[in-house]
Chain A
């Protein structure tokens, strides 16, 4: 089974801190994604990457950046955390091909105080 591992289940950070969320997948997928999930809003795409060192903005990239130095690892960076970035963050990876087999990590619940 494909595994997508997010390094932290829960994080509490202070306003203004730089925050790193790490995601690793073990199936050599080209495509990786970062979403945030908020009640009543569904999942919203922050950034995605279709190859090493490649990245594209999703629907809500403001306040975030990403890094993909190795194929298996995709990092989400909050340059200066703010309270409105308190959320559940989900990483996903995808096969290429018709069925677009997305696999999600277990999520990181980030609280910014």
Chain B
């Protein structure tokens, strides 16, 4: 069964600090992996997308890494801001023919405090 597991479930950090969120997946075959940010009561917004051949992808203060051999990904947030408080969701897309059925993690709830 295709699964995506994220850790930690929740995290509280002080403003200005860095943090790293983890994602392990069992989806096979694998097409790409995305990280989304979801603010409370809103839809997810894409941060990064990586195919199996990419190791790292940055979007401002967000840097995602991917190890397709170990089926692990991480999202590193640098110099956190209060606006980073949100749920971060790891999403894996299977290779064709399962291409339209994404597998979602349950998210890491991040809270950034003063």
Contacts and interface: CB of A to CB of B under 8 A. Distances in A.
B99 interface: yes
A100 B99 contact: yes
Contact of A58 (B43, B93, B101): B101
Interface string A75-92: 000000000000000101
Given A59-B101, A100-B32, A100-B93, A40 B106 contact: yes
Interface stretch (A11-19, A41-49, A63-71): A41-49
B43 A42 contact: no
A62 interface: no
A48 B106 contact: no
Given A42-B107, A107-B41, A101 B102 contact: no
Nearest to B6: A42
A98 B100 contact: no
A106 B43 contact: yes
Given A44-B104, A106-B43, 8 more contacts: A4-B43, A41-B106, A48-B100, A99-B32, A99-B51, A102-B102, A104-B45, A105-B43
